[in-house]
Amino acid sequence: MTLLLAAGTAFWLGLLTSISPCPLASNITAVSFLGRNIKSPTRSLLNATWYCLGRMLAYIVLGVLITKGLLAAPSVSFFLERHANQVLGPILILAGMFLSGLLEMTGLSADLNPEKLVGKNERLTALTLGFVFALSFCPVSAALFFGSLIPLALRFRSPLLLPSAYGFGSGLPVLAFAFFIAFGLNTTGQFYDSVTRLENWAKAATAGVFIAAGLYISAKYALRII
């Protein structure tokens, strides 16, 4: 896998995160809140952009802290160089099981009220909302970020590019919603319904790919049977 393909995978993981129930609800809440009194389409889209940047910043900070910390340890770095593929296989299988619902995690979501974060500066408020909402992990987003993106970032030693791609993917639907709201389109509800339907097959398809890839990598590098 090349770095470009890894970045595309990270973007897809972020997009998949954004259409999961918990992050999707947070994104819709934030967009509605930021655009509630804004008549200018430009300001609405600008605030959504700052929100997206806030999400990217949160994942970059986490990515740098985690990957730099792990790679700084010589023993960890040596282990990753020798056994990265052996570890990646089981991780992909577990991530696929979380996505498919075969495994579940509880207690990781947070209920955040944007009213508590609002300030006079619209751009700073949007950036803060994006940053804080990104850190409000729910089971699916935690599995995708910690179980899939971080191992990928470690594998390619990319603490900036891959978390950035993931963050952009997680905030991209916000820009789409902001566009619909800003220009007064009447298809926002239909778009939301389409996104929620997309979630079902996207999660199932990605889970299948993760499990299949994990089984193949495990069979080739860990079990050495192919």
Q: Name the residue ranges covered by the structural domains of the chain.
A: 3-222
Which amino acid makes up residue 205? A
Q: What is d(CA 147, CA 17) in angstroms, rounded to the nearest whole number? A: 12
The whole-number pLDDT of residue 42 equals 73
The whole-number pLDDT of residue 33 equals 64
Ranked by mean pLDDT, which of 24-28, 50-54, 172-176, 214-218 comes out on top? 50-54
The whole-number pLDDT of residue 20 equals 73
What pTM was computed for the model? 0.67
The whole-number pLDDT of residue 109 equals 44
10 vs 68 pLDDT, higher one: 10
pLDDT tens digits, 143-192:
788 888 988 888 888 889 999 999 999 988 888 877 776 665 545 555 55
The whole-number pLDDT of residue 32 equals 65
Q: Write the DSSP symbol of residue 222.
A: I
Query: Is 144 in contact with 13 (CB distance < 8 Å)?
Result: yes
Percent share of the chain, pLDDT over 70: 64
The whole-number pLDDT of residue 93 equals 83
Share the mean pLDDT of the chain: 74
The whole-number pLDDT of residue 59 equals 93
Q: What is d(CA 164, CA 14) in angstroms, rounded to the nearest whole number? A: 9
The whole-number pLDDT of residue 172 equals 87
Look at the block and give the residue holding tokens 């595309």: 8
Q: Average the pLDDT over 209-214 and give the result.
A: 78
Distance of alpha carbon 71 from the chain centroid? 22
Nearest to 26 by CA among 148, 114, 151, 140: 114
The sign of the torsion formed by the CA atoms of 41, 43, 49, 55 equals negative
Q: Write the DSSP symbol of residue 148.
A: I
